[in-house]
């Protein structure tokens, strides 16, 4: 059964997931000067799928079976891997990893709306409406004047990040069905990444023509391995386990924590610099996510006169 409130163990798992996914923005930033976005995404999902397939074989588990299951996994692969991975990789060629992670933090704002429209147990509340308004304000602070002052490529990159966040939100609601199907999180993750690899391969062959690309340096191979093994192969089984325990709205709160690790890595290792408006926008988005979560406002509601 999905719980609306997370216990301490859920929060620990959510924090671990945020560290894995926060690192993915750093790894992409390292790889994107040397490889095109589609090739980065293919390397990420294919290496992760191969690693999880080995784990499945070692544990004696099997991939899911049935047309219905694989059709659902195909939708999940498209909206949870192919679309957002590609959009973020392309965007990080124009904006810094910390800003991309901040824009990714809008995922729960979209998730609340999608969950309200397509689920029966994650409905809109006044606190969630307030959270959405705060989050929209945060995005407006970061992007409000960008259309007039910043290059078109930068604005397009930020819009791509928001579209990727919407894709993640939809996949979070769609992925709830795998728990009801009785699928093991490891099998679900392996199936999703296998299908994502199948989807990405023809795109890479058609647009990137990898046989014409120069071999990337050793540190890029290291970034691809970290992205595939830590940020994908290890992260997705944990994601599906948490999704089945706490639901789409709760698990999407991981995006509140992701910018912390992404910004620390970007600033500390890559020398990135975030503008004041990005920090202010992140503060508003964080306030919106806390309002959606409801824990901060709960004591105040108990003090309100009846």
Range of the domain at 158: 8-303
Model confidence band, residue 1 (pLDDT cutoffs 50, 70, 90): low
173 domain-assigned: yes
Q: Which two tokens stand for residue 46?
A: 């294919």
Res 165: pLDDT: 93
Q: What is the pTM of this model?
A: 0.84
pLDDT for residue 141 = 78
Tens digits of residue pLDDT in 277-298: 778 888 888 888 777 766 655 5
Is there a domain that residue 3 lies in? Answer: no
Q: Is residue 34 part of a domain?
A: yes
Six-digit token pair at 120? Answer: 């029966």
Each residue of 43-74: pLDDT tens digit? 999 999 999 999 988 888 788 888 999 999 99
Residue 2 forms part of a structural domain? no
**Total number of domains constituting the chain:** 1
**Distances 265 to 27, 44, 234 between C-alpha atoms, Å:** 10, 19, 19
Residue 112 lies in a domain: yes
Q: On the CB side of 26, how many CA atoms lie within 13 Å of its CA?
A: 27
pLDDT at res. 178? 81
Please give the pLDDT value at position 296.
57
Task: List, as one string, the DSSP characters of 160-198.
Answer: HHHHHHHHHHHHHHHTTHHHHTT--HHHHHHHHHHHHHH
Lowest-pLDDT range of 19-23, 66-70, 136-140, 251-255: 251-255
Q: Is residue 88 part of a domain?
A: yes
In a domain, 1, yes or no: no
The distance from CA 243 to its chain's CA centroid, rounded to whole angstroms, is 13
């Amino acid at each position: 059964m999905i719980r609306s409130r997370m216990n301490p163990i859920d929060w620990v798992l959510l924090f671990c997931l945020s560290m894995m996914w926060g690192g993915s923005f750093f790894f992409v930033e390292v790889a994107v000067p040397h490889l095109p976005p589609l090739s980065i995404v293919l390397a990420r999902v294919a290496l992760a799928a191969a690693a999880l397939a080995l784990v499945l074989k070692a544990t004696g588990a099997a991939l899911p079976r049935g047309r219905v299951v694989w059709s659902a996994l195909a939708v999940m692969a498209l909206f949870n891997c192919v679309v957002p991975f590609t959009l973020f990789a392309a965007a990080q060629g124009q904006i810094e990893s910390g800003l991309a992670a901040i824009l990714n933090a809008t995922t729960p704002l979209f998730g609340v709306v999608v969950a309200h429209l397509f689920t029966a147990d994650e409905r809109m509340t006044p606190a969630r409406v307030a959270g959405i308004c705060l989050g929209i304000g945060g995005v407006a602070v970061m992007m409000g004047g960008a259309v007039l002052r910043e290059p078109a490529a930068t604005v397009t990159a930020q819009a791509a990040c928001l579209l990727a966040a919407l894709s993640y939100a939809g996949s979070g609601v769609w992925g709830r069905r795998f728990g009801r199907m009785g699928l093991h999180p490891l099998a679900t993750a392996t199936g999703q990444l296998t299908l994502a690899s199948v989807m990405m391969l023809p795109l890479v062959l058609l647009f990137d023509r990898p046989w014409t690309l120069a071999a990337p340096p050793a540190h890029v191979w290291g970034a691809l391995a970290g992205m595939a093994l830590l940020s994908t192969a290890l992260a997705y089984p944990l994601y599906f386990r948490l999704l089945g325990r706490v639901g789409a709205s709760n698990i999407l709160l991981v995006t509140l924590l992701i910018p912390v690790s992404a910004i620390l890595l970007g600033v500390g290792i890559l020398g990135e610099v975030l503008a004041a408006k990005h920090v202010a926008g992140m503060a508003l988005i964080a306030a919106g996510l806390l309002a959606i979560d409801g824990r901060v406002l709960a004591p105040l509601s108990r003090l309100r006169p009846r």
